[in-house]
A and B are shown apart, each in its own frame.
Chain A
Amino acid sequence: MPILSYVRALNRALAAEMERDPAVCVFGEDIGIAVSNVTTGLLKRFGPERVIDMPISEQAFTSFATGAAIAGSRPVVEFQIPALLFLVFEQIANQAHKFPLMTGGQVKVPVTYLLPSSGSRVGWAGQHSDHPYSLFAHVGVKTVVPATPTDAYGLLVSAIRDDDPVIVFGPAGAVARRENVDFDALAPVPLGVARVHRPGTDVTVVAVGHLVHDALAVADELADSISVEVFDPRTLYPFDWTALEASLRRTGRLVVVDDSNRTCGIGGEILATAAEEMHLVAPPKRVTRPDGAVLPFARELDLALQPTRGQLRAAIETVAKGQ
């Protein structure tokens, strides 16, 4: 079977949706030459009226997308750098997200925000290494963090077809992944539906984005002693609580590995919900970035602040023994 890379999957999803629906257009910086490789070939195929290199004016082009969406277009806005989301938080959280309610349902805002490289790439320092998906889940913007190429394809397609703003985070730690797939079998993946990558009976590990692959590796390491279920929410908002409940009914034990800063990260929400509403036989644990983390430049310092397999393994072992 042919090999599909994560980046190529995003590219295929964009091209397929642009082909299918003339309302779909792409805005961003350096997308004409596809500096992030996600928009490769799109300018040539769909022309400069649908693939628009914008001035370095993120706030303007993010709200420009809102206006275009209200008027009938379905823009995809690419941001090369996750910290740009702090710059356009007003335009997404306060404008695009609020317009349907504030107008009493008079408008729809079908915009997709696409981050082809979020989180740490190691060596990009404080302002290029954030992973702010929890902020958007908190606000209530539909938030997607695909872990694999097929999910990246399927979730991006669903995001573009959705009538609400959706933000798609492609974790830097996952974008190098490749998968053997039948291209004809690529299909939309519904928002809000989790995926169990590996069934298990002792501990449920909820892993977000690239950390799914770390969780799978740790589950392998522990296979002789602990049966780990690797649960990938895929969509953080809306979260698939029903699937998590079903998983915890089987295992009763929960570890979350989440590349957010600890306070108010999505991991905290998952633990709180499980504690309030679900079956747990032992205190749960989470592995996250530290509180208020700013990733320093040096490799050792950057890596020191990201969740590690060692931390995850230790958390699983503790929770497996806990009662």
Chain B
Amino acid sequence: MADSADLYRTVRLIRRFEQRAIELVRSGVIPGGIHPYIGEEAIAAGVCAALRADDLITSTHRGHGHVLAKGADPIRMLAELAGRETGLNGGRGGAMHAADVSAGIYGGNALVGASAAIAAGAAWSHRRAGHDRVAVTFFGDGAVNQGVLLETLNLASLRLLPVIFVCENNQFATSMRVQDTTSGTITGRAAAFGIPAETVDGMDPEAVLEAASRAVTRARAAEGPTFLECMTYRFDAHHTWEYSVRPRYRTDEEVAAGSVRDPLEIQAARVADAVRARIDQEIEDLLDQARLFAEASPEPDPSGALDYLYSSGLRGRGGTA
């Protein structure tokens, strides 16, 4: 079981990774921008600390935290964001699709709510093969009105699948407030399908770990899915394009109020200063190394733009005759 320092390390790693990634977006090393996970780190850290290495996750457009917490190499993760051949996906996925199947990371997904059914199918397949692997699917509050997610709740409950539904309720679906888009309650949706659901303090990594551990125990005991609504707040932009577009859907005061409880500070308070200082330094060194590696890594050869499209090796025709 992860101790306080382990959780601190994960939260800190995600926070600093995101801050440095934002710098690299600004300097143009990362094309296209990112969806920063800053403020929500406790959820990825707590949930993934409850998992085994062979358990699996599916993620979202805002997935860097999940990928790092589940154990992907941060160096190859940053190279992926920079679109380099050395990245986790060879530069084919980028910020929204980073995957490391060997670490149980079945990829981010750019369609809101779309990865839950993939997680459920993978969980079913592993169970059929005789494994006791658990699948976690992360999604935001914006996903709880997507049909395919609601369909998956039904299917997972019906077949008692070892799936944990983790809703990261950061209060906003891009610019839309949860109360303006969502009737009823979020946990009520799970309850309607007979899935035990609880609301968790998503700012406290240890509270998340505790709730996730209970869910994992249920899943591994073949008692079926659990739904966790983790209350959190997105401290930064929906996407880095906000830095130039500057949409006004919440005030600076509101963001400041929402950021008062900071998962990094909450967890830092549980770790001795000396230990924390050492962890912080290790993370800075690692991320320095990640940046150098990304910048030194080759850009993919354009002739390979359709590599991996077909597992069977099929090559379609090119765009000119």
Contact = CB atoms under 8 A, between A and B. Distances in A.
A55 B154 contact: yes
A199 B164 CA distance: 59
Interface in A85-134: 90-91, 94-95, 99-110
A103 B117 contact: no
- Kindly name the residue among A64, A90, A94, A163 whose own CB sees the greatest number of chain B CB atoms within 10 A: A64
A281 interface: no
A70 interface: yes
A67 B316 contact: no
A102 B152 contact: no
B155 A55 contact: yes
Interface stretch (B90-98, B208-216, B272-280): B90-98
Interface string B12-45: 0000000000000000000000000000000000
Contacts of A192: 314
Interface in B142-195: 147-148, 151-152, 154-155, 158
Contacts of B148: 57, 59-60, 63, 91
A61 to B, nearest CB: 7
Contacts of A66: 117-118, 121
Q: B interface, how many residues as a size bin?
A: 35 or more
A283 interface: no
A49 to B, nearest CB: 6
A106 B117 contact: no
Interface string B194-217: 000000000000000000000000
A276 interface: yes
A104 B77 CA distance: 13
B64 to A, nearest CB: 16
Contacts of B310: 100, 163-164
B224 interface: no
A66 to B, nearest CB: 5
Nearest to B106: A70
A294 interface: no
A106 B122 contact: no
A33 B151 CA distance: 23
Nearest to B146: A59
A36 interface: no
6 contacts: A59-B117, A64-B124, A73-B125, A104-B89, A107-B99, A237-B316
Interface of B: 56, 58, 87-93, 97, 99-102, 106-107, 109, 111, 114, 117-126, 128-129, 147-148, 151-152, 154-155, 158, 306-312, 314, 316-317, 321
Given A70-B118, A109-B311, 15 more contacts: A59-B117, A59-B151, A60-B152, A63-B118, A64-B117, A64-B121, A64-B152, A67-B119, A67-B122, A70-B121, A71-B125, A103-B93, A106-B99, A107-B101, A110-B311
Closest 10 pairs between A and B when the two form their complex, measured CB to CB: A67-B121, A104-B90, A60-B151, A63-B117, A57-B151, A64-B121, A71-B125, A105-B308, A104-B89, A67-B118
